[in-house]
Amino acid sequence: MALSTSTLQRIALSSYLASLVFIPLWQLGLSPDLGYSLGFSLLMLLPLILPLPGMLKGKPYTHAWSGFIACLYLLSSLTQLWVGDSHRLWPLIATLLLLTWLMASSFFARSRGRELGLGLKKKNASD
């Protein structure tokens, strides 16, 4: 059963917005003892805001490249999940949100790109 493009977009946007709220809450409030200074923590949160306009507009290109940003935070949450001594619930929630964002955005970008006729040009056999 394939999900529709609009369903994928809603899932991607919802998980992105949830990540946009949860990750700062987690890093600055719920687990402020991650070992980073406040300035570094705030600077680390900056990339989360970058895809916001394109995600809200449903642009497939933004959904595609936002996966790189999701991977940055996914690496951080998986690291905290692996090495964290306590409070493994917060990085687990972040990991699930980020994986949902990454997967839904990737599938949405592919599906919407196909609808719009976008894609990589295929090489001719004579080239």
Q: pLDDT of 48-69, one tens digit each?
A: 999 999 999 999 999 999 999 9
pTM listed for this prediction: 0.83
pLDDT > 90? residue 120: no
Query: How far is Cα 35 from Cα 44, in angstroms, rounded to an integer?
Result: 13
Answer with the residue of higher pLDDT: 41 or 64.
64
Please report, for residues 27, 28, 60, the alpha-carbon distance to residue 45 in angstroms, rounded to integers and kept in the order given: 9, 10, 23
**pLDDT value for 50:** 94
Give the C-alpha separation, 124 to 112, whole Å. 25
In this prediction, residue 63 carries a pLDDT of 93
How large is the average pLDDT for residues 74-80? 90
